[in-house]
Amino acid sequence: MLKEGKTTIQLSVQCFDEYIDLMKQADENFNFKQKELEFSLALGSAYANIYENDASKKANEYYDLAKRCYNKVLDLDPTQSSARYNLVVLETKYKTKQEDLLKEESKKKDLEIISLNAIKELSDIKLHESQLKEEAKKKELIIVKNERENSEMRMRAEQERKDVIAQKEKQKQRTVLVSVLIGFLIVIIFAALVLKNARQKEKLNRELERKNKVIEIKNRELATLSFAVSKSTNNLMIFNAEMELVWANNTFLDINGITLDEYKKEKGKTLFELSTHPDIKNLLAECISKKMGTSYESENITKNMGRRWFQSILSLIFDENDQLQNLLVIDSDITTIKQIEEELRQKNKDITDSIHYAKRIQQSILPSTHKIKELLPDSFIFYQPKDIVSGDFYWMEGIENNSKIIVTAVDCTGHGVPGALLTIIGNDLLNHIVNELKITKPSEILREMNAGIINRFSLIEDSSSREGMDMSLITIDKSAENINIKFSGAYNSLFFIRENELFVLDAMRQHIGSIPREQRHEISEHQFEVKKGDMVYIFSDGYADQLNGSTGKKFMKGKFKELLLDIHRKPMSEQKKILEKTHHEWRGNTFQTDDMLVMGFQF
């Protein structure tokens, strides 16, 4: 009934409650707690599945129901690792959904800002139109001036003609000839001037007609712009050169619930009085000096909408003399984005707190300092997770009065939370195999580990999943006169140094959890007798795989071997410090590539 979805979940819960009541009456020894734990785990998975596939606003209800079911399981049985794992997966999916919502909202706001930039460009066009009109007026004045000059020239020519006639009467025939020549010359000059002025006037008229058409087109575009501005969902305000508010669109007036004059009387007239930005004067002065706009965020209290957050864009408008003429302020309401940011900050804090708690749980399964000193008194452990929790862990146990000591360094698939969850499973399997089944042979322990991992993940439908572990495991046998070490490894080898020479015991090239049943007998095992001064190292691949901060190259196992040869004679605490220092110098400013674990000891 749970698998059928929303419609049968409530009926399934009712049936289960009736089933528990009937069984309590029928059998006093009935273990209802175990049944309730199993049903709560299944019910939580059903709710989580509905939440993952439901895109409606009610999806969060199924998230809360699923989380409540997993917490109930952990209250009934804190050792339930599957419930703890499902709870972490659920929290991660919830965070991913919230991030997708924020991205969608941000895209909408980006589109609004693009629209506002178009409004500013049209405002610049209007200013250019004004400049064109001014130039047309100047050219008209030039035409009038030329006509006046022509009139004056005509009057002077007429006067000169009269003077010539008077002179002709006194000078007789010679004067007549001269006057005729002068008159003819004047006619030619006048005709040339008239022709020139006519052509110039015609050219100016054509240019004026063209610019009038351009102005008509711009006026139509400006009318369209004015309509768009009046209908905009953003606040638009225009201030004059003295920073006094002179105009605001209808959206601004609707949000504040009063007229422009009432708003100026109540709040103030200038931008410095109206803005809640603490450093608005210096911000505006910097914009004017650089002749460029800017943006800032501020919180305002409105009459109709209460406390709101706005992103303000300042655009400066200069005249032809490069003097500030107007200031355009566009306010976009970003209250919803601010609320989502705060919610995401809180969710991130909650998730981080949960991971820190998981770190305490993981640290609790690691061997204590007292146990390490008791079993391996001359040893060191360099353990550095990539994230808060680690996919690497180490484990050791002494049996038969510590005559046999089993030590292992394990690298689980992945790092962070998924890897940490696998470390819990690995630790549980090792405790079961060694402490309960009493198996101490390394190859047999790895064989049981492989079977345990396969059994744990056999119910997962995704056949491509690669959950598993790489590990180095040794059994130190001190029961005889000489100490013997047996080793088996999956991908991670063992190094031991004897008389300044490094020896490598190779591991099989398969992961724990990926070895088929028919190949389990092929798990190899090495053995060697320990001599005084021998230094033994087991490790994960994280140290050798670290990338260099400058070149991007890996540290590699070759350099790792050279480093161990250089430091193997030093005290254990100093070896650990050198490993840590070398790692940080190689890594530089880049991020840590993987979890790191290096264990060293001698006898």
Give pLDDT, residue 18: 82
Give pLDDT, residue 325: 84
Give me 521's structure tokens: 């007998």
**What is the mean pLDDT of the segment spanning 193-210?**
80
What CATH number has the domain spanning 366-602? Answer: 3.60.40.10
**Phi and psi dihedrals of 480, rounded to 5?**
-90, 180
Give pLDDT, residue 362: 83
Give me 539's structure tokens: 């490790």
Assess whether pLDDT exceeds 60 at residue 192. Answer: yes
8 Å CB contact between 479 and 400:
yes
Closest by CA to 408, choosing from 517, 554, 507, is: 507
Q: What whole-number distance in Å separates Cα of residue 567 and Cα of residue 380?
A: 13
Greater pLDDT, 595 or 324: 595
At 69, the pLDDT band (50, 70, 90 cuts) reads confident
Strand 245-248 to 235-240 pairing: antiparallel
**What is the mean pLDDT of the segment spanning 37-65?**
78
Assess whether pLDDT exceeds 90 at residue 437. Answer: yes
Task: Identify the sign of the CA torsion 363, 364, 367, 368.
Answer: positive
8 Å CB contact between 94 and 357:
no
pLDDT in tens, 338-355: 888 888 888 888 888 888
Give pLDDT, residue 471: 96
Give me 364's structure tokens: 């609790």
Q: Which helix (H) or strand (E) holds 248?
A: strand 245-248
**What is the mean pLDDT of the segment spanning 157-169?**
79
- Where does residue 124 fall: left (phi above 0), alpha (psi -120 to 50 degrees), or beta otherwise? alpha
Give pLDDT, residue 413: 86
Assess whether pLDDT exceeds 80 at residue 599. Answer: yes
Q: Which helix (H) or strand (E) holds 410?
A: strand 404-412
User: Quick one: how far is CA 325 from the chain centroid?
Assistant: 40
Give pLDDT, residue 463: 44
At 224, the pLDDT band (50, 70, 90 cuts) reads low
SS3 424: helix
Give pLDDT, residue 92: 82
Long-range contacts at 56-62 (CB < 8 A, ≥ 24 apart): 59/97, 60/94
Give me 224's structure tokens: 């369209």
Mean pLDDT of all residues belonging to the chain: 84
Burial class, 488, CB count within 10 angstroms (exposed 0-12 / middle 13-18 / buried 19+): buried
Weakest mean pLDDT among 327-331, 364-368, 395-399, 584-588: 327-331
At 228, the pLDDT band (50, 70, 90 cuts) reads low
Give me 174's structure tokens: 């010679």
At 488, the pLDDT band (50, 70, 90 cuts) reads very high
Q: What whole-number distance in Å separates Cα of residue 537 and Cα of residue 123?
A: 74
At 464, the pLDDT band (50, 70, 90 cuts) reads very low
CATH class for the region spanning 235-333: alpha beta
pLDDT in tens, 91-103: 887 788 777 777 7
Give pLDDT, residue 284: 86
Q: How many residues in total does the chain contain?
A: 603
508 DSSP β-pair partners: 490
Q: What whole-number distance in Å separates Cα of residue 196 and Cα of residue 378?
A: 111
At 461, the pLDDT band (50, 70, 90 cuts) reads very low
pLDDT in tens, 404-418: 999 999 999 877 788
Percentage of the chain modeled with pLDDT above 70: 92
